[in-house]
Structure 1
Amino acid sequence: MGTHSHTTYNFDERFEFAGKARTLSLAAIVIGIIAIVAGFFVEGSHRMFANLLLMGYYFTCVCAAAACFLALQYVSQAGWPTGLLRIPQAMASALPIASIVLIIITGLGLSSHNLYHHWHAEGITDPNSPHYDALVAGKSAFLNVPGFFARQIIFLGAYSIFAMALAKLSYKEDLEGSLNSYKKSFKYSAIFLVIFGFTTPIWSFDTVMSLEAHWFSTMFGWYNFAAMWVSGLCVITVTIILLKRAGHLSWVNENHLHDLGKLIFGFSIFWTYVWFAQFMLIWYANIPEETVYFYKRWEPEYKPWFWLSIIINFVAPVLILMDRDAKRKENIMLFVCILLLLGHWLDYYIMIMPGTVEEHRGFGLSEIGAALGFGGVFTFLMLNKLSKHSLAPKNHPFLEESLHHQI
């Protein structure tokens, strides 16, 4: 066991959000705005709305994964991650803004018929219309505009409320030092995880799967959850490594990094299992209404990205993170996490683009610019929140266990 004590570290240390980090995040936002505006003129509205949906969904997923990470630690009464909880707290604090942005994107996309036109089109559920689609009409009790927005607002609103509550209780714990905040956090986390577990598949059905309303997969929700979870873990890990290199988080060591690496490795395997099961069963059954989903993704514009996605998100973590020592080295973990963040961006690209963009297909500056813009917004919000409080939950009851964590 380690011999560190509370007196060894300065748990009141703050991260100062200034200098290069602030400048780069603001520069990324400016580049993103320019790229998005230019994209509407050059690439067309369908492609740019698809890009906005991709990044809005990715942004929200990463923030929601951070809230889930927090809740899991409280419910499981895990001690090892206590010293790094401020990072997912800061990420989760951006969830309300991410949710609002995503709802605005889906609303504008629906109203302009640039998104969800497979089920939101004039006369598509009217038997007397030449545009009538019996399959879509059969789903209209669920797949309709009021229901779509009600679910988006209720689900994302609930996630945001719990994310803010958990962060607020942790900061309150720093001031009071009693167990009251921790006990409330435990209770709120248990409620949140029940809501989150039952609703995230439905949220992914609405936001992404309904882009192609003729197709349905019961695995799709967990496939999305796996991508969300791995992406959130990668952002947490990258932030920890960069903060440590800046001289912060001295109480976080290679043992904490190792545990994060194990989670990333394990859930990358889980993501691959769901991906393969969904793909293999549809391919093997060879049912036209099912295989059409993958047929689109084997068109020339998407087929290379389709296979690159599985190589990055499965082969890379298996080959690199299989070794114990690899999960304890900052350089390797930083490389793998950045690679997986790019890989899951590509995963969402493959989910969204083929069912949305019929003209001006491709991959270029519009996609890169939108990704930079949203990445800049997320970084700015997260680091700004991180700078408002101490980097350690100094009165958390399991902080001492985190200091002595050793595997």
Structure 2
Amino acid sequence: MSLEPTSPSDPTSHAAWRILDANANRCAEALRTWEEYVRFVLESPPLTASLKEARHQLASVLDRLPWEPRLAARNVEEDPGTRETTESERRRAQPADVARAAAARASQALRCLEEYSKLVCPSLSDSFERLRYAVYALEQRTFGQPERHGTLADVRVCLLADCRQVLDQIVPRVEAYLDAGAAMIQLRDKEADDRELLRAARELCRVRPKGLLVIVNDRPDIAFAADADGVHVGQEDLPAAEARRIVGPTRLVGVSTHEVRQLSAAVEQGADYVGFGPVFPTPTKEFTQFVGPVQTGRMTERSPLPLFAIGGITPDNLGELTDAGVGRVAVSSAVWNSRDPLETLRKITEDLRRVPLTRELEVLRRG
């Protein structure tokens, strides 16, 4: 359908153009305000890219809305709305409040653009409608996460455990493991069948206290079914974006990485955190190359996501990592092969807490 905007000369069209002009400005300003929040407060590359894309889509549609009738209908001096401000508009307690208000303005403005464009530029109405639905989805991704049992900013140690260790060791003493520093437990068991994995995941989630994150390795379907806090995928598993489609926007998605290119890809795909390694030789996996503590420290510094060093980490070599600025690790054999797993956890956690975390992120699915 060709675009044939109607003339602004009659009163009805003049009012429609005036409304369209005001809401076009309101929507563009709201999207920019919202984008600054996800960029500088959440520091989320995926959300920043999505908000930028939404702004560009809006600009593309508005380019098809003629400037002349918009400007001819604009009358700031006689607009009664410029002189009315509510008390709630004057007060914002925190950056998230500013961003939520901006998101609400964006969706409201798009609805006005959608409806009033039918009077003067009907062929644009569908474009505004599609953008409005996209904004709804972005709003959910930014603000829709319910409070998790814990947040990544609180996690120093991710403890890897198989089904037997979860059921026999952790579930009966879950508070003790959390107190010792295992704020994230990743269920990883290559030998277990689906029913065993689901049972172990559900049992751990059932007793999970506040402050503990439960992650399932490799299996987004098990993570979803067990109501775990997230899933962790490797380079040969489902991509992070596809895992997100299964677990939904409110759960965490972690990705194993071994080099800079893979870290960048994880960020682009909307991962919430990454594992990086192997740092040292490990008895659980066979590798011929190891990234070492110095490279791990460099990656920790440059990563926009929380980064967990993994691979052969023990209380004896942990100092090499903390000296390099690494403040988060994932451990398995060092704990389970020790005479006192809880005491080993405490020692590792205490050593890591000497390293300041430069990115204390409250992670919202990113996607």
* TM-score, reference length from structure 1: 0.26
Q: Structure 1 or 2: larger helix share?
A: 1
Q: Normalised by the size of structure 2, how large is the TM-score?
A: 0.29
- The answer to which structure has the higher strand fraction is 2
